[in-house]
């Protein structure tokens, strides 16, 4: 035999009741079907009664709506003679209900006893209709079998008597019977009810009394999910869980089953199968006795409750004093306040507990009254209430067998900048709960869900700034690689923000790269860097990375604010890392302290692995003694391309067209770009250096850099003849020009040099770069890194690699 329980949504309409019939009919076993009232009906009944006692006539509207809901269902489900018969019986029940509510209105009194009498009408109505609809089903009056005390509203079951009555009623029974949930009666035969979740309880009581093979709870969700699916789209159904895990998850928000109702079946070790009436083919969740399974994940699910207040009672006078907790929780119990989480440090000087925000004020008042003497005597000096909080809990029996869960949990949460306000873990190790701000809840659930591999993929959320040559190429490369990364590395790169100097667009759900430009143009708001930054911070998305592909010289606050909000930074823009040494150091420090990344590999040598190599050398204890390098792709290209046929001014235009130069090529020609790169290399080598410490030997007069861009382009060809004459002389001497950066013994300089054949710089072709590190370990033969040093494609690839580094793959 089996017990099947159908909830309010499952029996909420004629269409759903047909599904119920199908499910019941397809059972090979004898079945007891326990049903809730049609969805929303119990609330309406209780509301009508409350309206009646308040003396408003609105209760009549509710009664009419209750009648119509049932009429529509009966009309739809039955035909001809049967319809009349069923409606006649249903009408009688509805008339009785209306009479009682009118009585309440006349007397102006609504006792718990009356509430219980009318509270079960919804179940009596629905069970009767369903019993008639399922051929050969028998209706049984569960209220006369489940016997309770007379505590109206939440009666206590007399299990001995109840089990006997149920067993007697079912002796020799076979077939299908339908029973109302929630209803019970006292020894005088008066109606009582079983409290919240009462229909689950009825089903559990029947299942235990009849010792059935399984209790099936049919509801409107697929079962227990790994997290709230409204927040975590990747949440999925938990196949099997223990009674304790189910209780813990239900207690914290997953209202799949009402926890105390599990007790009777738990005691008899009867499995509970959760199924979705609207999707019966789904696997659902199976609750059974704990069978720690090595293959199971250490945690089964994450649950949460919002609108929590945390109350902290603090005072040195509490230390070592017995009875404080007893009085504290006694005071709360007297006010009927449910305490959801308790945390007390071993110092005993404070105790914090969480309650529903609606109860916070009453709780504070109750404590102030209870501890009036201690507050006056300053043994207790602080009672603090913090609102707008949420509790999050991870639940899993296997946590007991696994070390490092708490470490991993709090490390991931911390890295994402989420502040933990209180923590509690019971010694059963079944549950770790902690308190965060409501505004951090979504992010917390996301990172925890992901970090415990409840979801298969690691997600990195990208906010891109700048979609010119480098940014545009980057998006193309991500688009090309996205699927492969997802499939092979389980890395999901999601674009959640994109901006250029005209427009900006943010979307937490993701911006498809294909067609992003059209969407940016159509939906984007006017670009505003401050607003973009603030939106990134406000969105508070987990695993966020801000990718800067502009050359903008904005305030240094931008990066600092983002890093402080735990958003990693990947930048092709050299401005920040080459700004004041103090600012560079500050940004690196924030990133380190927050456990996130500030990466700028492409700042030197575009996609060449220069900074990472330097970091490896230094981290492994090497010391950089000398740096000699050709660091400008643009300048190297110019000096390699200039000839009798191609004058210097033309090579500048060519470098720009090839995408080597800065958006403003004067930054390259003035040597500023190379100074920036040298500063970054020297700093990453571990030395303090600022811009004024670098000597620049310019090869184009300052006057060309002072005017407008137009002035520059129109004037620069004036230098062509002189350059060509000098070039010829150089060529005759078998030498070439290279713009060289050098650092040694605290001296830094950049400038044009004549390079002789045989020198490593001499054969450096096109826009290539070359860096030579002379170190304590690479002494006689310096380490050389050489290759494309500029170009949108290689730079974008370097930025891409940094983004992947952020994901910690
Ligand atoms: N091209 C290379 O070889 C190379 C190599 C290494 C590093 N970089 C660096 O990459 C960066 C980008 O270079 P690029 O050639 O792609 O430049 P670009 O001019 O082609 O693109 C710049 C982008 O930034 C946007 N932008 C500029 N100011 C902005 C602002 N205040 N707010 C929002 N958007 C803004 C522009 O609209 C444009 O989309 C530069 O910092 C450059 O130094 C380039
Ligand atoms: N403008 C830069 C790009 C690479 O940083 C160069 O020419 O080297």
ipTM: 0.97
Same domain, 270 and 366: no
Closest by CA position to 678, among listed 670, 668, 690, 667: 690
Q: Is 160 exposed, middle or buried (0-12, 13-18, 19+ CB in 10 A)?
A: exposed
Q: Is the CB of 558 under 6 A from ligand 1?
A: no
Closest protein CA for atom 18 of ligand 1: 468
Location of structure tokens 């990195």: 460
Same domain, 568 and 556: yes
The residue out of 560, 585, 606 marking a domain boundary is 606
Alpha carbon of 779 to ligand 2 centroid (Å)? 28
The residue out of 403, 433, 451 marking a domain boundary is 451
Which ligand 2 atom sits nearest the alpha carbon of residue 674? 8
Same domain, 744 and 623: yes
Ligand closest in space to the Cα of 767:
2
Q: What is the CATH number of the domain that holds 376?
A: 3.30.2130.10
Q: Is the CB of 552 under 6 A from ligand 1?
A: yes
The answer to the question of residue 241 being in a domain is: no
Alpha carbon of 491 to ligand 1 centroid (Å)? 26
Q: What is the CATH number of the domain that holds 125?
A: 3.40.1160.10
For the record, the structure tokens of 167 come out as 């067993």
The answer to the question of residue 808 being in a domain is: no
Alpha carbon of 634 to ligand 2 centroid (Å)? 6
**What residue numbers bound the domain in which 104 lies?**
2-13+15-221+256-288
Same domain, 130 and 264: yes
Res 453: pLDDT: 63
The answer to the question of residue 251 being in a domain is: no
Which ligand 2 atom sits nearest the alpha carbon of residue 790? 4
Same domain, 508 and 627: no
Residues with a CB atom less than 6 Å from ligand 2: 606, 632-634, 660-662, 668, 673, 789-790
Q: What is the mean pLDDT of each run of 10 residues along the chain (809 residues)?
A: 94 96 94 96 94 90 96 97 96 97 93 94 97 95 96 91 97 95 96 87 96 94 85 85 87 68 90 92 89 67 92 87 90 93 82 95 96 93 95 89 85 91 82 94 91 76 97 98 91 96 96 97 96 96 95 87 96 97 97 94 97 97 98 98 96 96 96 98 98 96 90 94 96 97 98 96 97 97 97 97 86
Domain count, the chain: 4
For ligand 2, mutation pick of 661, 739, 787, 793 (most atoms within 8 Å of CB): 661
Beta-sheet strands, E only, within 678-761: 694-697, 735-744, 747-756
Alpha carbon of 631 to ligand 2 centroid (Å)? 8
Report the 10 Å Cβ neighbour count for 802: 24
- Got the DSSP string for 222-235? SS-BSS-TTT-TT-
Which ligand 1 atom sits nearest the alpha carbon of residue 471? 16
Res 809: pLDDT: 46
Same domain, 549 and 676: no
Alpha carbon of 661 to ligand 2 centroid (Å)? 5
Which ligand 2 atom sits nearest the alpha carbon of residue 668? 1
pTM: 0.75
Q: What is the CATH number of the domain that holds 536?
A: 3.40.50.720
The answer to the question of residue 324 being in a domain is: yes
The answer to the question of residue 75 being in a domain is: yes
Same domain, 393 and 516: no
The residue out of 436, 451, 466 marking a domain boundary is 451
Alpha carbon of 467 to ligand 1 centroid (Å)? 7
Alpha carbon of 110 to ligand 2 centroid (Å)? 82
Ligand closest in space to the Cα of 797:
1
The answer to the question of residue 248 being in a domain is: no
Same domain, 563 and 670: no
The answer to the question of residue 710 being in a domain is: yes
Same domain, 681 and 586: no
For ligand 1, mutation pick of 464, 465, 466, 530 (most atoms within 8 Å of CB): 466
Q: Is the CB of 606 under 6 A from ligand 1?
A: yes
Ligand closest in space to the Cα of 632:
2
Closest by CA position to 137, among listed 17, 30, 7, 8: 30
Q: What is the CATH number of the domain that holds 638?
A: 3.30.360.10
Alpha carbon of 799 to ligand 2 centroid (Å)? 14
Ligand closest in space to the Cα of 573:
1
Closest protein CA for atom 2 of ligand 2: 661
Closest protein CA for atom 30 of ligand 1: 501
Q: How far apart are CA 210 and CA 353, in angstroms?
A: 41
The answer to the question of residue 802 being in a domain is: no
For ligand 2, mutation pick of 631, 656, 662 (most atoms within 8 Å of CB): 662
Q: Is the CB of 527 under 6 A from ligand 1?
A: yes
The helix, strand and coil proportions of the chain, stated in percent and rounded to the nearest 5, come to 45, 20, 35
Where on the phi/psi map is residue 472: left (φ > 0), alpha (ψ -120 to 50), or beta?
alpha
Same domain, 640 and 731: yes
Ligand closest in space to the Cα of 739:
2
Q: Is the CB of 417 under 6 A from ligand 1?
A: no
Q: Annotated catalytic sites, by residue?
A: 677
Same domain, 767 and 670: yes
Q: Which residues pair with 435 in a beta bridge?
A: 391, 422
Same domain, 689 and 766: yes
């Amino acid at each position: 035999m089996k017990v099947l329980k159908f909830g309010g949504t499952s029996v909420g309409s004629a269409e759903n009741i047909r599904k119920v019939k199908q499910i019941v009919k397809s059972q090979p076993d004898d079945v007891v079907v326990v049903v809730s009232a049609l969805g929303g009906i119990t609330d309406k009944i209780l509301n009508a009664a409350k309206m009646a006692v308040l003396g408003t006539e609105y209760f009549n509207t509710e009664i009419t709506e209750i009648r119509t809901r049932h009429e529509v269902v009966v009309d739809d489900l039955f035909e001809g003679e049967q319809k009349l018969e069923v409606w006649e019986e249903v009408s009688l029940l509805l008339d009785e209900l209306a009479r009682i509510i009118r009585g309440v209105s006349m007397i102006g009194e609504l006792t718990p006893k009356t509430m219980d009498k009318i509270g079960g009408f919804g179940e009596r109505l629905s069970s009767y209709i369903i019993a008639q609809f399922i051929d050969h089903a028998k209706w049984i009056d569960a209220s006369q079998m489940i016997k309770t005390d007379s505590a109206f509203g939440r009666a206590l079951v007399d299990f001995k008597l109840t089990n006997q009555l149920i067993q007697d009623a079912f002796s020799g029974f076979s077939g299908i019977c339908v029973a109302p949930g929630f209803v019970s009666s006292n020894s005088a035969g008066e109606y009582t009810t079983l409290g919240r979740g009462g229909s689950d309880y009825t089903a559990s009581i029947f299942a235990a009394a009849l010792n059935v093979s399984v209790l099936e709870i049919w509801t409107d969700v697929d079962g227990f999910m790994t997290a709230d699916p409204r927040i975590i789209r990747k949440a999925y159904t938990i196949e099997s869980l223990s009674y304790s895990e189910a209780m813990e998850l239900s207690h914290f928000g997953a209202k799949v089953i009402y926890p105390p109702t599990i007790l009777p079946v738990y005691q008899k070790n009867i499995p509970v199968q959760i199924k979705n009436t609207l999707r019966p083919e789904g696997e659902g969740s199976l609750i059974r006795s704990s069978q720690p399974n090595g293959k199971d994940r250490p945690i089964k699910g994450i649950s949460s409750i919002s609108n929590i207040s945390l109350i902290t009672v603090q005072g040195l006078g509490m230390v070592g004093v017995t009875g404080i907790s007893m009085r504290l929780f006694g005071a709360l119990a007297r006010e009927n306040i449910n305490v959801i989480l308790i945390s007390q440090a071993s110092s005993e000087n404070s105790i914090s507990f969480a309650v529903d925000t609606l109860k916070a004020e009453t709780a504070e008042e109750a404590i102030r009254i209870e501890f009036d003497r201690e507050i006056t005597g300053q043994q207790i000096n602080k009672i603090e209430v913090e609102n707008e909080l949420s509790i999050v809990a991870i639940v899993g029996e296997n946590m007991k067998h696994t070390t490092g869960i708490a470490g991993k949990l709090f490390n991931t949460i911390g890295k994402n900048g989420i502040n933990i306000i209180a923590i509690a873990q019971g010694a059963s190790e079944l549950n770790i709960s902690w308190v965060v701000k409501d505004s951090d809840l979504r992010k917390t659930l996301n990172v925890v869900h992901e970090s415990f591999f409840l979801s298969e993929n690691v997600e990195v959320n990208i906010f891109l700034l700048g979609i010119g040559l480098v940014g545009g190429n980057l998006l193309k490369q991500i688009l090309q690689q996205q699927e492969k990364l997802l499939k092979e590395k389980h890395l999901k790169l999601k674009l959640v923000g994109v901006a250029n100097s005209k427009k900006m667009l943010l979307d937490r759900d993701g911006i498809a790269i294909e067609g992003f430009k059209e969407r940016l143009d159509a939906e984007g708001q006017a670009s505003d860097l401050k607003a973009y930054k603030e939106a990134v911070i406000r969105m508070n998305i987990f695993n966020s990375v801000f990718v800067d592909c502009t050359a903008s010289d904005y305030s240094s606050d931008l990066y600092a604010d983002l890093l402080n909000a735990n958003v990693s930074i990947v930048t092709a823009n050299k401005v920040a890392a080459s700004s004041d040494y103090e600012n560079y150091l500050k940004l690196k420090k924030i990133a380190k302290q927050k456990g996130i990344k500030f990466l700028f590999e492409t700042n030197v040598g575009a996609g060449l692995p220069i900074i990472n190599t330097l970091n490896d050398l230094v981290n492994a204890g090497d010391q950089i003694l000398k740096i000699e390098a050709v660091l400008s792709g643009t300048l190297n290209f110019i000096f390699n391309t200039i000839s009798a046929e191609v004058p210097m001014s033309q090579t500048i235009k060519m470098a720009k067209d090839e995408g080597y130069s800065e958006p403003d090529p004067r930054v390259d020609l003035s040597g500023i770009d190379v100074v920036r790169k040298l500063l970054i290399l020297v700093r990453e080598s571990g030395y303090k250096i600022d811009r004024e410490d670098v000597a620049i030997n310019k090869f184009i007069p300052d006057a060309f850099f002072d005017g407008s861009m137009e002035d520059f382009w129109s004037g620069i060809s004036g230098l062509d003849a002189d350059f060509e004459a000098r070039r010829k002389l150089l060529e005759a001497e078998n030498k070439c020009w290279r713009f060289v950066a050098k650092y040694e013994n605290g001296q830094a300089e950049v400038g044009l040099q004549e390079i002789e054949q045989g020198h490593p710089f001499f054969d450096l072709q096109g826009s290539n770069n070359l860096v030579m590190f002379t170190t304590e370990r690479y002494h006689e033969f310096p380490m050389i890194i050489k290759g494309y040093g500029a170009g949108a494609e290689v730079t974008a690839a370097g930025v891409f690699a940094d983004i992947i580094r952020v994901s910690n793959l």
